Amino acid sequence: MTIRFIVPGNIEHRSGGNLYNARLVEQLEALGARTEVVMLDGAWPPGLDEDRESLAWSLRDADLAIVDGLIAAGAPGEIAAAVQAGTRVWILSHMAFTAHADLEAQALAAASGVICPSAFAAAKLKELYGLERVHVALPGTLSADAAVGSQPPHIVCVAALLPNKSQLILVEALAAISGLPWTAALIGSPDADPDYAAQVRAAVGKHGLKGRIRLTGELRDAGLEAEWHAADLSVLVSAQESFGMAVPESLAHGVPVIVRRGTGAEEALGPFGAGVAVDLDGGPDALADVLAAWLEDPELASRWRAAAMTRRGSLPSWTATAESVLAVIRP
Q: Which residue has the higher pLDDT, 45 or 156?
A: 156
Classify residue 145: in a domain, yes or no. Answer: no
pLDDT value at position 89? 97
Q: How confident is the model at residue 17 (pLDDT cuts 50, 70, 90)?
A: confident
Residue 46 preceded by cis peptide, ω within 30: yes
For residue 11, pLDDT over 70 is answered with: no
For residue 268, pLDDT over 90 is answered with: yes
Q: In terms of Cα–Cα distance, which of 107, 164, 129, 116 is closest to 267?
A: 116
Q: In terms of Cα–Cα distance, which of 34, 117, 106, 28 is closest to 68?
A: 117
- Identify whether residues 19 and 123 lie together within a single domain: yes
pLDDT (tens digit per residue) in 22-39: 999 999 999 999 999 999
Q: In terms of Cα–Cα distance, which of 234, 227, 221 is closest to 308?
A: 234
- Identify whether residues 110 and 229 lie together within a single domain: no
Quote the domain boundaries for residue 212: 154-314
Classify residue 147: in a domain, yes or no. Answer: no
pLDDT value at position 13? 61
Q: Where are the alpha helices (DSSP H) in the chain?
A: 16-30, 49-59, 69-72, 76-84, 101-110, 119-129, 167-176, 194-206, 221-230, 246-252, 265-269, 284-296, 298-311, 318-329
- In this prediction, residues 9-26 reach a mean pLDDT of 81
Q: How many CA atoms lie within 13 A of 203 on its CB side?
A: 20
CA 258 vs. chain centroid, Å, equals: 15
Structural contact between residues 257 and 274, judged by C-beta atoms closer than 8 angstroms? yes
- Identify whether residues 57 and 91 lie together within a single domain: yes
Classify residue 146: in a domain, yes or no. Answer: no
Structural contact between residues 301 and 290, judged by C-beta atoms closer than 8 angstroms? no
- Identify whether residues 159 and 308 lie together within a single domain: yes
pLDDT (tens digit per residue) in 151-184: 999 999 999 999 999 999 999 999 999 999 999 9
Classify residue 275: in a domain, yes or no. Answer: yes
- Identify whether residues 100 and 200 lie together within a single domain: no
- Identify whether residues 76 and 170 lie together within a single domain: no
Q: 238: which residues sit within 8 A by CB, 6+ positions away?
A: 159, 164, 165, 166, 244, 260, 263, 265
- Identify whether residues 165 and 113 lie together within a single domain: no
- Identify whether residues 82 and 205 lie together within a single domain: no
- Identify whether residues 43 and 160 lie together within a single domain: no
pTM as predicted? 0.93
Classify residue 212: in a domain, yes or no. Answer: yes
Q: How confident is the model at residue 45 (pLDDT cuts 50, 70, 90)?
A: confident
For residue 12, pLDDT over 70 is answered with: no
CA distance 157 to 172: 14
- Identify whether residues 135 and 275 lie together within a single domain: no
For residue 44, pLDDT over 90 is answered with: no
- In this prediction, residues 310-331 reach a mean pLDDT of 94
CATH of the domain at 215: 3.40.50.2000
Q: Are strands 88-92 and 113-116 parallel, antiparallel or unpaired?
A: parallel
- In this prediction, residues 50-59 reach a mean pLDDT of 95
CA distance 310 to 187: 25
- Identify whether residues 163 and 295 lie together within a single domain: yes
For residue 18, pLDDT over 90 is answered with: no
Classify residue 149: in a domain, yes or no. Answer: no
pLDDT (tens digit per residue) in 101-154: 999 999 999 999 999 999 999 999 999 999 988 999 999 999 999 999 999 999
CA distance 81 to 86: 9
Domain count, the chain: 2
- Identify whether residues 136 and 163 lie together within a single domain: no
